[in-house]
Structure formats: structure tokens, C-alpha cells
Amino acid sequence: MMEKKVYIETYGCQMNVNDSEVVLSILQDEGYSLTENIEEATLILANTCSIRDNAEQRIWGRIDQFRLQKRTRPEVIIGILGCMAERLKEKLLTKVDLVAGPDSYRSLPSLLRAIAPERPQINVLLSHEETYADIKPVRMDKNGVSAFISIMRGCNNVCSYCVVPYTRGAERSRDPFTIVNEAKDLWSRGYKEVTLLGQNVDSYHWIDKETGKHSTNFAQLLEMVAKISPDLRVRFSTSHPKDISDEVIYTMAMYGNICRHIHLPVQSGSSIMLEKMRRKYNREWYLERVAKIRSVIPDCGITTDVIAGFSGETEQDHQDTLTLMEKVVFDSAFMFAYSERPGTLASKKYPDDIPYEVKTKRLNEIIELQGKMSLKSNEKEIGKTVKVLVEGPSKKNPAELCGRASNNKMCVFPSKGEKAGDYCEVEVVSVTSATLICKRIESYI
């Protein structure tokens, strides 16, 4: 029988990276092994993203390239997983053999068995329960240091611009004991860092089904994972400004191994835009949360997401975003031009009325300002000693190592032969807007 080999490309967020690992686990049980060479794959998968139109356009282009494989090997199966599968459903079936949404990965073996010429298969049912809690993801990272753990799925917020509630369904939390066991297992296999993932980790909530009483919130879950070992770094993403609690901030402060970094997407600095975006907080609330974080954890890195040119955004709204960015001085940011997504509340209620040139101009101003803010925040690190988890040799100079400080800033420094997964204490000597350049701390002995 022909050897079954799967090739997987992953697009979009960290959650998708972890989902691909769940998919690989399910497929391995079916006899598939992973290949990085598309030409020897019998199954070609793309785990896709729908967040902005350009993400989808890129994937349509890839599908055409995947189909070239069929010219010489017509038996190759091409499948689309993830958010784009969920959003476009049957529309993808003219181009591929398999379409599976984010909650249907357990059915992949039966779907694959049912595929025949002219008989593509689809499952895009969303679930209220599926968390893949019992599936042990097969890690696809290269260095065995850092891994993602999904703690919940779906999203119950209805940010008016966002497609995710429609592609990933309702929010559900995963049993905390399965999460802790997964983290323990990773630790015992030499991993040094876990990132707990959810669309909105602050609304993590688990109620023990048997007693109906004992419940776990995100702060408690964080503590349970942090207690595994002081040498296991714990990160998490994404926090929602409306939900991040003082309890979470104090829990971070109590455990040195919970990394000093919060990704806190602001989206806009204008309260008028925030209201229209249905973010359920305003500018003042956001600034108060930042002030609280910094009063409890002064060295906490804060990063964000910003959208330029949402419906009806005036020049004043845009200026409000810029002044907020100047006030907060984010360590880094992901910055996007608004892209209208079919089916969202905004697409029904608010016209996408900011001309392309205006959106681009505003986005460029945001990017330029963030460059200055990143540099400013990095300059504050000069002279500090930081503990870095080594990721491997620096890409630019193999005689140097790179890795992240607790606050998520990328550091480079001369190697003394350490390997990925080792901790190094180094001193920051100079910076760019993207990197801390460090020297070794000489010991006196």
C-alpha cells in the first residue's frame, strides 16, 4: 500500500498552529506521517485564516499551486481546514477535495475514507462542546522549547468587525486538569515555555460537571500551570481589555515564571470607534487597565493590535489612536487596515466608507509612530540585566544566540555554546526598535 504522507501549511493565529498539531495527532493515528516536501505528500492541507480579505486571497493563490500537484499525481487529496473552510463552506468544493471547519477535525479520518473522484467531502458543523481536550497535539515546532496549549475555543464577543465568532463558534473552556497535564507532559519532555491560548483568555471559566460547584477561572488556571515548575515559563494570549481582572494581574506578580507580557489589543484610541466596534470599553477604561498593570508589574511588556480606517473613522478618531499610542508606549503592535468581512455586524450596519488611500495613509502614520514607540520602550531596557530563554543561533550571525526576555523582547548576544532551551542572564547594551543587543555578564570567580 502507498505510504500516507501529509503536508500542512498553517496560516493566521497561534491558535491555528496548535490546531494543526491536533490535526496531525488525529492523522498520525490514521497512519499518516508528516512531510515537509509537498511533492511526496499524498494529502495536502492548508489550515486557513479569514480575518482579513488579503489573508483569504493569499490562500486562494496557494490552492491553485497545490492543484498543480494533481497534474502528475491525480490521486493527491487537497484539503482546506480552519476559518476559511468554515466561512466559505461548499464554495471551496469546486477547487478542493476536503473542507473541514475548526470543530470537525475528529471526523477527518471518516471524511478522508469517503473521498472519491467527483466526491469531495465537507464537515463544517460547529460545536458547543468540542475542545479536543483528550487529544495530545503532535508538536511541529523545530526546537522543542516552546509550545502552545489551547485552553478554550470559540468566542462570545461580537466585535462588529470580526469574523471569528462565525468561523469558530461559541466560546467553551477546556477542563483545567487536561491543560495542566498537557503542560506537565511538555515540561517532562524538555519544553521550557508554554503559551496558553484563547480568543479571550480572561473569560476562561470551567465548572466541574460532576459537582456543578467547583469552578476555575483564568487566574486560578494560570497559577496551576505556573506551579508545575519555577523554570517553566508561562505565557498567555489574548487578553481582552474589558475582561482582564486585577486577580490575573496579581497572580502574574506572584509568580516570576509567568512572563511579564500582556497582549492587550486596543483596536482604536477613539471611544466613538470603540463603541461602534462593540469592544465594550472606552479609551479611559483602557488607559486605566494599563495603569493598573504597570502599578502592579512595573516591568510588564504591553503589546497591542490596532485597526486603521474602521467605518466612519474621522481624522479626530485617528488622532485619538495616535495620542493613545504615545501615552501608552506599547512595546510592539500588530497594525492593520480595516477589511470588511461578509456576515459581520459591521458589514450589515456600517459602510466601509474610508477610501483606500486614507486608510493606507493612517495605517502608515500608525506604523511610523509605533516604530518610534518601540525604540523608546527598548531604550528603557539599556543597562538592565535580563533572563533570556535561548531559542537558537541568531539568524544574522551564527556566533550569536537569540531568545526572548520575560517581557517578550527579542535579545541577541554572543554565544558561549548554550543551546535552545537554556536560560542566560545578559545585560542590554544597545537597542533597535525590534531587538535588544546584549552582552554576557562576566562572573567574578
Residues near ligand 5AD (CB under 6 A):
51-52, 161-162, 265, 267, 305, 307, 336, 338-339, 341
Is the Cβ–Cβ distance between 392 and 417 less than 8 Å? Answer: no
Q: Which does 311 bind (CB under 5 to 8 A by kind): ligand 5AD, ligand SF4, none?
A: none
Residue 309 near ligand SF4 by CB under 6 A: no
- Sign of the Cα torsion 50, 330, 245, 175 reads positive
Q: Tell me the closest approach of the beta carbon of residue 388 to ligand SF4, in angstroms.
A: 28
Residue nearest to ligand SF4 (CB): 12
Q: Tell me the closest approach of the beta carbon of residue 163 to ligand 5AD, in angstroms.
A: 7
Q: 397 - beta bridge partners?
A: none
Residues from 165 through 194 that contact ligand SF4 (CB under 6 A): 167-168
- Residue 4: burial class (beta carbons within 10 Å; 0-12, 13-18, 19+): middle
Nearer to ligand SF4, 10 or 407 (CB): 10
The rounded distance, in Å, linking the Cα atoms of 423 and 309 is: 42
Nearer to ligand SF4, 167 or 377 (CB): 167
Q: What is the DSSP string of 355-417?
A: -HHHHHHHHHHHHHHHHHHHHHHHHTTTT-EEEEEEEEE-SS-TTEEEEE-TTS-EEEEE-SS
Q: Which does 49 bind (CB under 5 to 8 A by kind): ligand SF4, ligand 5AD, none?
A: ligand SF4
Per-residue binder mask for ligand SF4 (CB under 6 A), 46-85, x = binder: ---xxx------------------------------xx--
Q: Classify 392 in phi/psi space as left (phi over 0), alpha (psi -120 to 50) or beta.
A: left
Residues whose CB falls within 8 Å of the CB of residue 103, separated by 6 or more in sequence, listed in order: 125, 126, 127, 130, 153, 168, 169
Q: Which does 336 bind (CB under 5 to 8 A by kind): ligand SF4, ligand 5AD, none?
A: ligand 5AD
Q: Tell me the closest approach of the beta carbon of residue 52 to ligand SF4, in angstroms.
A: 8
Q: Tell me the closest approach of the beta carbon of residue 307 to ligand 5AD, in angstroms.
A: 5
Residues from 80 through 109 that contact ligand SF4 (CB under 6 A): 82-83
**Closest-CA residue to 239 (of 162, 146, 157):** 157
CA–CA distance from 130 to each of 10, 105, 152 (Å)? 21, 10, 9
Q: Which residues lie near ligand SF4 (CB under 6 A)?
A: 12-13, 15-16, 49-51, 82-83, 163-164, 167-168
